[in-house]
Amino acid sequence: MSTQRTPHDRRSFLKLSLGAAAAAASATSARFSFAQGTSRTLRIGNQKGYLNLLKARGTLEKRLAPLNVSVSWTEFAAGPVQLEALNVGSIDFGDVGEAPPIFAQAAGAPLAYVAATVTRPQSEAVLVPPQSTIRSVADLKGKRIAFNKGSNVHYFLVKLLRQHGLQYGDVNSVFLAPADARAAFERASVDAWVIWDPFFAAAEKSLGARVIADASGVVGNRAFYFSSQSYVANHPDVIRVVIEELDKVDQWGKQNKDQLASELAQLWGLPKPVVDAAVQRQQFGTQPITHAILGEQQQIADTFLELGLIPKHIDVLKAAPSNLA
C-alpha cells in the first residue's frame, strides 16, 4: 500500500495534479469571474464508491461555496456511460477504471486524466470453483474463462497468460458482464472467472471460490479521476478542491476500514463481511498523474489495439495534464 503522506506531501500532490501552465492561463479569467459574481457549476458523474461518500459528507459543496461554485451529481452504472456523458458535455468530472478511458480517447472524447489511485493488484483475480482441478495458471490452457470484454481484467488476463508462457488464444474467452459471469460460474458453464472486488470477495465468501492468481506482479489495476480538457483549463481551482476532498475521504478510509466497509456495504447492498474482505486488501492513496502512470495506460491501449478492441493507435499523453511528474 502507499506510504502515509504528511500534510506537506498532500499540498505538493495538489500542486502537481494540474499543470502549472493551465492554472496560470486561467487565473486571470477566474479572478475576473469572481469579481463579477459569476456563478459556476461542477457537474459530477459518479459510480457507487468514493464519490458517493464525498457527496454524503457535503464537504465539497462547503469548500466550493466561497468560489461561487454549485455542484450537481448524476449516478451512473458504469465507467463507459460516464465517459459518454463527458463526450457529449453532460458532466465535468468522474471516476473510472483503467480500461474505459482507452475506449473514450479512441472515440475522440476530450478526456483529461486529473488524478489516479495507487495500484490495487490484490483487488482483481482469476477464480475457480472450490472443487476445480485447476491449480495453476498453466492449467487454464484450453479452459473456458469468463470476464468482461474490454475491461481491466481483460488486460490482466492477457498479461497473466503471457507471463506464464501462454497466449491469449490458448484459452476460450467467454465475454460476460459480472452478474452473468457469476451465474455461469455457479452453474459450472465456465471453468474460471476473472473479476474485481467486490464481486471477487462475494464469490469467495458465498461460493467458496478459490484464487488461482491475483494481479500482484502482473498489472497495477488503478482507478482514475477525469475531467474534460476544457474544464481543466478553465477551472483548475475547482478541480484542485475536488481532488483534495477526495484525498481526505481516502485517508479517512485508510484509518477507519471498519466504518468504510459499513458505509460501502450499505451503498452496494452487500453483506458487510463481503465488503470487509474487499476493503482489507484494498490499497489506499491518491496520486498525481505521471509519465509512468500514463505509460501503464499506453500499454493497455497498445494491447487493446493488438486485440482489435480499439480501431486505431492512440497517444495517451494527449489526455495528460500540462506538466507531468
What's the pLDDT score for residue 32?
Answer: 37
pLDDT digits (tens, 9 = 90+) for 12-64: 433 444 343 333 334 434 443 443 357 799 999 988 888 999 999 999 999 99
Q: Which residues, in sequence order, are bridge partners of residue 72? A: 43
282 pLDDT tier (thresholds 50, 70, 90) = very high
Number of domains in the chain: 2
When pLDDT is cut at 50, 70 and 90, the band that residue 325 belongs to is low
pTM more than 0.75 = yes
Q: What is the rounded (10 degree) CA torsion for 103, 15, 282, 185?
A: -10
Report yes or no on 68 lying in a domain: yes
Q: Is 156:194 a contact under the CB 8 Å cutoff?
A: yes
159 and 85 housed in the same domain: no
- The verdict on 106 and 255 lying in the same domain is yes
| 214 vs 153: CA distance, rounded Å | 10
Is residue 156 domain-resident? Answer: yes
Residue 114 lies in a domain: yes
pLDDT tens for 156-181 read 999 999 999 999 999 999 999 999 99
Of 214, 248, 265, the residue that ends a domain is 214
Dist CA 275 CA 64 (whole Å): 31
Range of the domain at 64: 7-119+222-319
Range list of H helices, the chain: 7-17, 20-35, 50-57, 59-64, 79-87, 99-106, 152-163, 178-186, 199-207, 229-234, 236-255, 257-268, 272-281, 291-306
Mean predicted confidence (pLDDT) in 109-134: 96
Mean of the pLDDT values across residues 133-157? 95
Q: Would you call 228 helix, strand, or coil by DSSP?
A: strand
Same domain membership, residue 305 and residue 244:
yes
By three-state DSSP, how is residue 173 classified?
strand
Pairwise CA distance, residues 116 & 98, whole Å:
10
Domain presence at residue 2: no
Indicate whether 306 pLDDT > 60.
yes
- 211-242: pLDDT as tens digits: 999 999 999 999 999 999 999 999 999 999 99
